[in-house]
Structure 1
Amino acid sequence: MKKLFMIMTIALFSTMAIAQDSEPLYLLFEFMHVDEGQGDAYAETEAFWEKVHVQRVKNGDCIGWDLWSLQPSGQKQGAQFMTVSLYNDPVKMMSGGDFNKAWTDAYPNLSDSESNAKMEMTAKSRDLTHRVFLVEIDKTKDDFDMPLGTLAIINFMKAKPGKSGAYEKMESEVFKKYHQSDVDSGGRANWGLLRNMLGYPTEAYATHITVDMFTGYDQFFNGSNNGPVNEEQQKAYQEMNELRDLKSVTHGTLVRKVR
């Protein structure tokens, strides 16, 4: 009887683990352009908002928030920063939660005039260029907890019309094993595949995003991912080019994190 109980307990925890692993992760990417001379003001803005995001997590509005510094970062090369809000519920992602409550919880003694000044500072310190609503549809198996300083290579992909499903299948069934091999050998920290939830293949700049994470540039340049491409991989790349276009690549460094 005791042995049977242990077997049932193990089976229960295994089922719970599978259920937790299968829960989709939803992500809101927000890209920020900071005008020349506003760098310090923007840093102050995000330091202020970080405390609000801490309360949002405590209140259950989201499960995390990150700030990433982007490269290239010149004034004419697009956004220099990106914030990422993490959710386990797409409804919460679209509604955003109760920001007023999170604001009051984070700064209970702030007067109305001080709150208005902080909002004005936020607006002046950066321009929110665009938002992307995403769902994670595949990833490597790893225990990477993404500490500050993590390097993310963000690849913006556009699936060709009518080929989104085939593209996703190839990422998961062909390329994922190469990424997993790199993770297992210490060549990279993590890989994930994200789908643009609101973009249409003929209109969206990117229908999908892949993210390769590294502990830093040392792992990026010296990891096993920089090894020679074999014949099988070369054929896979050729087939992949028939399914999607690589629109652009951005490097991000994690500078703030709330969990």
Structure 2
Amino acid sequence: MMNTMCNNFKKTVLLCTTLVFILGFAPLTMQGQVSPSPLFGLVEFMKTTPGNEGNYVELELNTWKKLHQARIDKGLIVGWYLYKVHYTASDDPYNYVTVTLFSDKNKLENPWADIDPAEVLGDIDVDKVFEETMKTRKMVGSNLMNRMEFVFPEGGPGDFKYLQLDYMKVKQGHDSEYYNTEVEVWKPIHNEFIKAGSRVGWSLWGRVFPSGYGLDFQYVTVNYFSNFAQIGTANYNDATSKAHPNEDVSKLMEQTNNSRLLVKSELWEVIDRVMANQ
């Protein structure tokens, strides 16, 4: 009976994740561009049910985190994050996000391989965990993202606390123009921001699935902050003049605006995480 319960549990958990592979792993957004360190992020958007936000967070921290740690121990994933989305209202589509990180896209085919929830959770009732999870939140969507570029201080962004995500929409056929603008214009500027201490990292992610130019965005840039006080402190004029001393700033801004549409920005706070090699 317990084996049946665990198998049903795993099948349900796998549903949203394995759909990414079953429906077809889309090609990388930028053909021919390979990240120095391959990294894929399964981003799942959660909306907590009224009165259950605290219960949802407790389940993630005290129960699901153990399962993600077990996946890390088996080499299935390299990390998992729980984020709270700030400045949301009751009618916004989501207020929490989980991100599961993979260093090998092939691991997406069976990301819960050989994980026995009953073995990991011990005396905890597995069916009750799933039932309570479904009561506390609804998963309203998911994206598979591929990290294309990044700038971090030596050793990575470290113990960052906040992320600012900027969602970018590009016109069909203009991916190269956008990518080149991010890499040639903005990557050096973000490097100057890091040197100045106004952030602890920057990365560019391409949307792998779902894909298409009819969607609301195709790319996301992420700014990493160690604390709330860092947000909004970047000196753009100073960083731009240092990164591009011989360039006309107005032309760089025109190039940027012509390459993409900034759809929206969000602020995420790290609630908890588990990472390989911590």
Which TM-score band applies after superposition, normalised by the shorter structure? 0.7 to 0.9
Say if 1:254 and 1:73 are closer, same or farther in 2 by CA, change over 3 A.
Answer: same
Instruction: Indicate the SS of the match to 1:57.
Output: helix
Paired residue type of 2:133: T
Q: In the alignment, does 2:42 pair up with 1:31?
A: no
| Pairing of 1:92-107 with structure 2 (within 5 A) | 92-98=107-113, 101-107=115-121
Q: Measure the CA separation in 1 of the matches of 2:87 and 2:237.
A: 21
Instruction: Indicate the SS of the match to 1:191.
Output: strand
Say if 1:123 and 1:226 are closer, same or farther in 2 by CA, change over 3 A.
Answer: farther
- Which of 180, 187, 191 lines up with 1:180 in the alignment? 191
Paired residue type of 1:76: D
- Residue in structure 1 matched with residue 84 of structure 2 by the alignment: 69
Q: Measure the CA separation in 2 of the matches of 1:141 and 1:247.
A: 25
Q: Contact 2:42 / 2:100 at 8 angstroms: preserved in 1? A: yes
Q: Measure the CA separation in 1 of the matches of 2:130 and 2:81.
A: 20
Q: Measure the CA separation in 2 of the matches of 1:31 and 1:136.
A: 18
Instruction: Indicate the SS of the match to 1:242.
Output: helix
Q: In the alignment, does 2:63 pair up with 1:44?
A: no
Q: Measure the CA separation in 2 of the matches of 1:62 and 1:154.
A: 23
Q: Contact 1:134 / 1:197 at 8 angstroms: preserved in 2? A: yes
Q: Contact 2:189 / 2:240 at 8 angstroms: preserved in 1? A: no
| Pairing of 1:86-125 with structure 2 (within 5 A) | 86-98=101-113, 101-110=115-124, 114-125=125-136
Give the percent of matched residue pairs that are identical in Structure 1 and Structure 2. Answer: 22
Q: Contact 2:189 / 2:239 at 8 angstroms: preserved in 1? A: no
Query: Which deviates more from structure 2 when the two are superposed, residues 132-141 or residues 217-226?
Result: 217-226
Q: Measure the CA separation in 1 of the matches of 2:210 and 2:253.
A: 25
Q: Measure the CA separation in 2 of the matches of 1:199 and 1:236.
A: 31
Deviation at 1:229, TM superposition (A): 7.1
Relative to the length of structure 1, the TM-score reads 0.83
Instruction: Indicate the SS of the match to 2:60.
Output: helix
Relative to the length of structure 2, the TM-score reads 0.78
Q: What do the CA deviations read for 1:101-158 (whole angstroms, capped 9, x no partner)?
A: 1523421334xxx2111101111111111111011110114134442x6110011111
Deviation at 1:248, TM superposition (A): 1.0
Q: Contact 2:118 / 2:126 at 8 angstroms: preserved in 1? A: no
- Residue in structure 1 matched with residue 149 of structure 2 by the alignment: 138
Q: Measure the CA separation in 2 of the matches of 1:160 and 1:166.
A: 10
Q: Contact 2:157 / 2:200 at 8 angstroms: preserved in 1? A: no
- Residue in structure 2 matched with residue 204 of structure 1 by the alignment: 215
Query: Which deviates more from structure 2 when the two are superposed, residues 230-239 or residues 123-132?
Result: 230-239
Q: Measure the CA separation in 2 of the matches of 1:93 and 1:216.
A: 32
More helix, by proportion? 1
- Which of 228, 241, 245 lines up with 2:261 in the alignment? 245
Q: Measure the CA separation in 2 of the matches of 1:233 and 1:77.
A: 37
Paired residue type of 1:212: N
- Residue in structure 1 matched with residue 13 of structure 2 by the alignment: none
- Which of 231, 238, 242 lines up with 1:220 in the alignment? 231
Instruction: Indicate the SS of the match to 1:69.
Output: strand
- RMSD (CA atoms): 2.1
Paired residue type of 2:64: W
Structure 2 unaligned spans of 5+: 1-34, 242-246
Q: Measure the CA separation in 1 of the matches of 2:256 and 2:181.
A: 7
Instruction: Indicate the SS of the match to 2:248.
Output: helix
Say if 1:247 and 1:205 are closer, same or farther in 2 by CA, change over 3 A.
Answer: same
